[in-house]
Amino acid sequence: MFDAAGLPYSREITHVPNSRRAQQLIELARDRGRHDELHHRVMDAYWHRARDIGDPAVLREEAAAVGLDAGEIADVLAGEQYIDRLEAQTRALHETGGGGVPAWVIDDRVLVPGAQPHDVFERVIERLRGEDADG
């Protein structure tokens, strides 16, 4: 599927890391206006560069690369900051019926569970556009 979609990925991935600390740092990045940048870097680090995004040293490097403060990065990696927010997001997703990874909530209206082909997302977006146009 990666090849068909033209997405880079590494055949060197050896394990599935615990991504909780990465998620916490991504929430810090959200608060600092750097969410998209760090999210992209973390995904690229894992899928393309086969880096262990559960490793604090890797996360420090990726977060610093988008300009996050070293002290804030260290605080997040050492503590439980943003855990409540992440748990609330997870609860909200489960309440809408999401349980797979990944699960996509589009425009806070439609849940697309699991990995889906590109055309599924195109159909969902077109349907939402039609609903918006209808008022």
- Domain annotation for the chain: domains and CATH numbers: 2-83 (3.40.30.10), 96-134 (no CATH)
Q: Quote the pLDDT of residue 100.
A: 64
**Which distant-in-sequence residues (6+ apart) come within 8 Å of 44 by Cβ?**
8
**pTM greater than 0.75 (yes/no):** no
Q: Which two tokens stand for residue 68?
A: 């996050």
Rg value, the chain, Cα: 17
Give the residue carrying structure tokens 């750097």: 34
pLDDT at residue 113, as a whole number: 75
Residues 6 or more apart from 54 whose CB is under 8 A from it?
Answer: 17, 18, 19, 21, 22
Walk along the chain (135 residues) and give the pLDDT tens digit of each residue.
Answer: 667 777 777 778 888 888 999 999 999 999 999 999 999 999 999 988 999 999 999 999 999 999 999 999 999 999 999 999 988 888 877 777 666 667 777 887 787 777 778 888 899 899 888 888 876
